[in-house]
Amino acid sequence: MDEETAIREITRETLLAYGCRTMTASDGADRVALIAEDKSEIVAVITDIVMPIMDGNAAIAALKRINPDIIIIAAGGLTAKGQTSILTDSSPQAFLKKPYTAEKLLGTMSAALN
């Protein structure tokens, strides 16, 4: 999940090219609702930390309540203040620093799944 369409689509296309089934969402609330509907199908989530409506930290906490075994990869870059996106105690399995390459995305996903 990411509010930036280009990032969502590039990430989706990269994962599809490597055999992953994907779903996308533009904000945390949308993604949490989708996972609550069909939690058995979702193994891992890549989420931006800074998002509108429900930020990544809140989304991660909600996803962990729905499915404590879900694998979370948090993604973030520099905020408007020039600081790296901040994770609270939401405990993702991995962090993916933006901007990321397809190689870094796939490597991080593979490491988190294993």
**d(Cα 39, Cα 50) in Å, to the nearest integer?**
23
Query: pLDDT tens digits for 46-78?
Result: 988 877 777 778 888 888 888 888 999 988 875
Q: Among candidates 76, 81, 75, 86, which has minimal Cα distance to 109?
A: 75
How many folded domains does the chain comprise?
1
Quote the CA–CA distance of 37 and 32 in Å, as a whole number: 9
Average pLDDT over the chain reads 83
pLDDT of 104 reads: 96
Which pLDDT belongs to residue 49?
A: 83
Does the predicted TM-score (pTM) go above 0.85? no
Residue 85 predicted with pLDDT over 70: no
104 is in which domain, residue-wise?
A: 5-113
Domain of residue 16, CATH code: 3.40.50.2300
- Rg of the chain taking only CA atoms, in angstroms: 13
Phi, psi of 12 (to 5 degrees): -60, -50
| Distance in angstroms between the alpha carbons of the first and the last residue of the chain | 21
Residue 4's pLDDT band (cuts 50, 70, 90): confident
Identify the pLDDT of residue 109. Answer: 92
Q: What is the pLDDT of residue 56?
A: 77
Is-contact 45 73, C-beta < 8 A? yes
Residue 72 token pair: 């979370």
pLDDT-derived band of residue 110, with 50, 70 and 90 as boundaries?
very high
